[in-house]
Structure 1
Amino acid sequence: MECDRCGGDAVMHAAYSGAHLCERHFRESVEKRVRRRIRRDDLVPGDASPEDPETWVIGLSGGKDSVVLTQILHDTFAEDPRIELVGLTIHEGIEGYRDESVAACLELADDLGIRHELASYEEEFGIRMDDVVEDDPENMAACAYCGVFRRDLLSRYAAELEADLLLTGHNLDDEAQTALMNFLEGDLGQIAKHFDASLGPLSERNEQDEFVPRAKPLRDVPEKEVALYAHLADLPAHITECPHASEAYRGEIQQLLYDLEENHPGTRHSILSGYEELAAMVADQYGDDGDESRELRECAECGATTTREICRKCSLLESLEAV
């Protein structure tokens, strides 16, 4: 195959667009999509200045997605004094697996010369995911526990670091899967919450002072293209599945989307585009209705912002302590 732009050897073919690209033009294509998303979502405010730079905290796990996102953001803003990047890594307490990915994070942060922070479940909550999986008082998948604890630490540390934005490496496949799951489950509350948290232009979101706004600049890039970019750029990504990964339903949705994309290229893009439009309407409707279940209050245990009397994190920790 020849590259459509220069005639060189192509390294990839995107069925959804028909494009054949060589290494240089492929990498440029990924970078262009990330930067376009940054512009579309108004992530860089018009009043940003070197005197009062924006602090962007990146959820840096060491996996391909977060590593690629960090590299592209660094390349984009390395010479821009208005933006300061900070990598934030969460150690869940998974023997072997997370130790290797933390090493990848440290290597990347050192290579790029950006600030890096490390938090752990053990230091913050007194737990390790290896033990949580063994005890499992709620009879849930490991990912359900881990997701709650990780979100809490990302949000808390972002606030403590006085972040203006919290960025995560969710790619197109991740977002299309989440969109389809929320729709199939009829979960309008989650759709509204998803939109408020990280979809659409930052200037048009329902911003609330209690939360650091989130962004997902990789969400237009398919997972396989993120992996290829990491490989071609020789980035220190730790590409190994978590030993406790067990999201069976998401796995089914993932396979369904693989099959649909194979037979109907562009399906993921269409799902995400339609979902963003639908989510905006749902979020607007929920806001107009003043749904009491979404009213924010302080957790009686830790003071975190929540819609419950006791936040989900604290209720899970109480269950674990009772084992």
Structure 2
Amino acid sequence: MECDKCGEEAVMHAAYSGAHLCETHFCRSVDKRVRRRIREDALLSPDSTPEDPERWVIGLSGGKDSVVLTHILDETFGHDPRVDMMALTIHEGIEGYRDESVDACVELADDLDMRHELVSYAEEFGVRMDDVVEDDPENMAACAYCGVFRRDLLEGYAEEFGADKLLTGHNLDDEAQTALMNVLEGDVTQIAKHFDASLGSFEDRNEGEEFVPRAKPLRDVPEKEVALYAHIKDLPAHITECPHSSEAYRGEIQELLWDLEENHPGTRHSIMSGYEELAELTAERYRSDEGADLNECEQCGSKTGSRVCRKCRLIESINAV
């Protein structure tokens, strides 16, 4: 099998496009899609200058997605004085697993000479995910706890570091799964939040928003292609599944999408194309018909629609065991 561009040996075949690409042209293809997404989302504000650069905080877990994202961003903006990038790693307290991925984060940040900050559940919340999973006071999947805690730290520290954008390594599979889950669950408000949080163009953002907006520059790239890119570039990615990963419903959706993609190449792209348009319409509706205003959590001061935020309620439950 030869590369469509140069005749060299192809290392991948993209069924959704029909392309056969060698290592060089495959990596160029991934780079091109990420940079196109950055342009289309207007990620870099036209007001950014060397005297007043934008600050981007990258959620760097050490897995393939965040490592690839950090590498491409550094290659694209590493010498651009209009952008000030730093990496933020969160240690959940998962013995063995997170220790190795933190090592990958440190190695990559050192290689790129990028500022790198490490925070942990233990220091911030007084809990470790290994203990939370063992006690499980709310009878929930581990990912349900971890998602709340991780989101709180990412958003809180992005704000503390003065970030203009929070960048995460969600790939096409991640986003298509979330889209399909929201539609199947009939969660219209979550669809609207998904658009406002990370899918809309940054040209349309309002000043003084409640949260640091998220960007997902990898969201056009399938998961397997991200993994192949990390392998070809020999990036220090820790490619091992979390031992507590147990989102049963998302796993079912993942299997469904794999089957659909195999039988109907391009399904993931089609889902996201229609979903983003639907999400934009939904966001417009809910912006004009907003419910309760956000309050400050009585315990930690974070923004919440309730008296006490979800994170603080979970910590109370964990500590009560």
Q: Which residue does 2:303 correspond to in 1?
A: 305
Contact 1:179 1:275 in 2 (8 A): yes
Q: Secondary structure at the match of 1:134?
A: helix
In structure 2, the partner of 1:317 is: 315
Q: Which amino acid aligns with 1:152?
A: D
Structure 1 residue 209 displacement after superposition: 2.6
Q: Give the partner amino acid of 1:177.
A: Q
More deviation, 204-213/305-314: 204-213
Shift of the alpha carbon at 1:301? 1.0
CA drift at 1:106: 0.1
Q: Which secondary structure state, in structure 1, belongs to the residue aligned with residue 81 of structure 2?
A: coil
Secondary structure, counterpart of 1:34 in structure 2? helix
CA distances 1:216-274 after superposition (whole Å, capped 9, x unpaired): 00000000000000000000000000000000000000000000000000000000011
Aligned counterparts, 1:1-323, within 5 A: 1-205=1-205, 208-292=208-292, 295-323=293-321
Shift of 1:205: 4.1
Residues 39-73 of structure 1, C-alpha deviations (whole Å, 9 max, x = no match): 00001111111111111100000000000000000
TM-score (norm 1): 0.98
1: CA distance between counterparts of 2:178 and 2:291? Answer: 23
Secondary structure of the 2:200 match is: coil
Judge conservation of contact 1:196–1:207 (CA < 8 Å) in 2.
no
User: How much does 1:308 deviate?
Assistant: 1.4
Q: TM-score, normalised by structure 2?
A: 0.99
**Alignment gaps of 5+ in structure 1:** none
Aligned length: 321
What SS does the corresponding residue of 2:317 show, helix, strand or coil? Answer: helix
How far has the Cα of 1:204 moved from its partner?
Answer: 1.8
Distance 2:299 2:55 in 1: 29
Q: Distance in 1 between matches of 2:126 and 2:36?
A: 41
For residues 76 and 116 of structure 1, the distance between their equivalents in structure 2, rounded to whole angstroms, comes to 18
| 1:127-164, Cα deviation, whole Å (9 max, x unpaired) | 00000001111000000000000000000110110011
> Which moved further from structure 2: 186-195 or 93-102?
186-195
Instruction: Output the CA distance in 2 between the equivalents of 1:192 and 1:308.
Output: 19
The 1-side partners of 2:320 and 2:300 are apart by 18
Distance in 2 (alpha carbons) for counterparts of 1:193 and 1:314: 21
Structure 2 residue runs of 5 or longer lacking an equivalent are none
- How many angstroms does 1:290 deviate by? 2.2
> 1:207, CA displacement in angstroms?
6.0
Structure 1 runs (4+) deviating above 3 angstroms are: 205-208
What one-letter code is carried by the residue in structure 2 that aligns with 1:225? E
Task: Tell whether the 8 Å contact from 1:54 to 1:164 is kept in structure 2 after alignment.
Answer: yes
Offset at 1:206?
Answer: 5.7
- Is this contact kept in 2: 1:196–1:206, CA < 8 A? no
Give, in angstroms, the shift of residue 298 of structure 1.
0.6
What is the SS of the residue equivalent to 2:118?
A: strand
CA RMSD between the two structures: 0.9
